[in-house]
A and B are shown apart, each in its own frame.
Chain A
Amino acid sequence: MNVVFWVGVKSNNPTVCDKHGNFEYFEYSKSTWQYWCKKNNVEFIEYDTTSYDTNDHKVTWTRWFELELMLKDIDWDKVAVIDASYMIKWNAPNFFDMCSNKLNVFQSLENLRWIQSGIDGYRSMFNDMEFDIKRYIDCGFQIFSKSHLSFLSDLKKYYFDNYDMICQLEKDVKKGTDQPVYNYMLQQDNIDFEFSLDPSFNINHMTRFGWLGHNWQLNDKTPYFIKYGNIWKFSGFDRKMRNQLMSQTWNMIKENYI
């Protein structure tokens, strides 16, 4: 059995809620994933509560710490961990069939200045190790096998051993939460990962790359991201826009999910 582990924990922190427009977009994301999982005989697991205090420990971290526990009663083969900012197209192929047992991830190439600054900002924490930026990954969508659970245990240990410094760097560097540390640890621990899925499974930074447009010259009104993408990530813009964009998208395509 393959599993989609959908990360949609609502924070009770008013500032975070405001920043995310009260998380209304979770419902649009969830509807698409539930439909797709049912269609493809994939177990849908909703990670919507955490045993950690979200004021102290961000969900971007706790998802890694609670994944194994959430799956303990399931006989699973591979698990895709996916954020609630992603929607999947109704007829997207079953990506589990296209992946090896390695950790399957996506290269991040969208805002290379942001990425490089993150790498530079966290370098001292990893003894100035050489980091290959061409292997920097986007943490929002990954496919794991059981063999990767030990890496997540190491990540958890590292997080709690270095909690104060991680919190400080997050404030000072401002280049993500778990992602820079996660990337450093992947390379430091020589975790064998690959970019096996094609980019249509991770269409992101849609405003930056003009994915929201359509072919006005041939008078085709279908937005490019819907026509060419299998999985859409709504990020790379002000998070307050996320509700609106995901709501508009859902209203445009919802008939396909019945």
Chain B
Amino acid sequence: MEHDKGKLHMKNVIFMINIVKDDRSRNQGYDYSIKSWQQYAKKYDCELFVLNELVADLEYMTPHWTKMYILDILDANEIEYDQVLYVDSDTIITPNAPNIFDISEHKFCAVPNFGDKDWMIRSMENYSYELFDNFKFPYFNYFNSGVMVFNKSHKEFFKSIQQFYEANRSKIIWMQKHYGVGHDQPIFNFFVNKELKDEYKVLGYEWNMQDLNRSELLGNDFMFTRYGYVCHFNCGIKPTPGAWIQATYEYLY
């Protein structure tokens, strides 16, 4: 684990997961992502915490689920914090991005899922049917879990997700394999929409620019860097997310 333990006053924390488990993950350009967030952390006096160890055996849970232990990991490392920003490692933050912690209102914040509604609605409906007693929430509340802001007050919330995972682990693993509509993301969405409701603040697309092919922003002119702040290279962009992460970093910094 890499982080700066030098300062004791309460900072905001940027948390990333960079677990290298094979050649594929080694070549995804995550180092460039981390470098961009290092600069953002420095600019706004935040602590960057990069987790590079698994918290559980891969057989027990995929690395996606590590997100539900973030506050525990910070506590275990004796890190004092105010708010936490979790970001996926296939993102690049632009140098002109404002301080996201200033707009959070100390709420749980995320960006609506942009992209394929077929995948997203199956994710919502299948998990609703199989695991949440047909609980429904508005489709436009469904968020992408690649960028999330939260704080200490959400400890119990994450504990509930951990307990839910433990109680339903085999069904969740079956869901992941059988339906292929998400790992942590659908579960996080159900918990936020059930338990947080008014505590959930929706951020604009500029804070998590997903599926850049679909918005047609992706291109050699880097138009996406003019639109917003968090460039998220998900949804299988070609030639590879790693190539875009590196190229975008070199273009911006």
- In the bound complex, what is the Cα–Cα distance between A200 and B137 (angstroms)? 13
Partner of B214, one of A114, A198, A209: A209
Residues of chain A from 204 to 258 with CB closer than 8 A to chain B in the complex: 208-211, 213, 215, 217-218, 220, 224, 228
Given contacts A200-B138, A200-B140, contact A213 B117 (CB under 8 A): yes
Say whether B126 contacts A113, CB under 8 Å.
no
Kindly state whether residue A91 has any CB partner on chain B within 8 Å. Answer: no
Q: Of A116, A198, A218, which is within 8 A of B226 by CB? A: A116
Residues of B close to A134: CB separation below 8 A: 204-206, 227-228
* Chain B binder among A25-33, A104-112, A146-154: A104-112
Does A199 sit within 8 A of B, measured CB to CB? yes
From B119, B139, B179, B205, residue with most partner A Cβ within 10 Å: B139
Determine if B216 is an interface residue (Cβ-Cβ < 8 Å): yes
Residues A111 and B117 in contact in the complex (CB < 8 Å), given A134-B204, A200-B138: no
Q: Is the CB of B116 within 8 A of A217?
A: no
Count B-side interface residues using an 8 Å CB cutoff.
29
Partner of B216, one of A112, A213, A228: A112
Number of inter-chain CB pairs below 8 Å: 65
**How far apart sit A41 and B181, CA to CA, in the bound complex (Å)?**
42
Q: B164 at interface (Cβ–Cβ under 8 A)?
A: no
* CB within 8 Å for A113 and B217 given contacts A217-B179, A224-B118: yes
Instruction: Answer yes or no: A125 CB below 8 A from chain B CBs.
Output: no
Given contacts A112-B227, A113-B215, A113-B216, contact A215 B140 (CB under 8 A): no
**Could you write out 19 A-B pairs with CB less than 8 Å apart?**
A111-B216, A113-B215, A113-B223, A114-B216, A116-B223, A134-B204, A134-B206, A134-B227, A198-B138, A199-B140, A200-B140, A210-B118, A215-B121, A215-B126, A218-B126, A218-B129, A224-B118, A224-B121, A228-B121
List B residues at the A interface (Cβ < 8 Å). 114-119, 121-122, 125-126, 129, 138-140, 179, 181, 204-206, 214-217, 219, 223-224, 226-228
Residues of chain A having any CB pair with chain B under 8 Å: 109-114, 116, 133-134, 198-200, 208-211, 213, 215, 217-218, 220, 224, 228
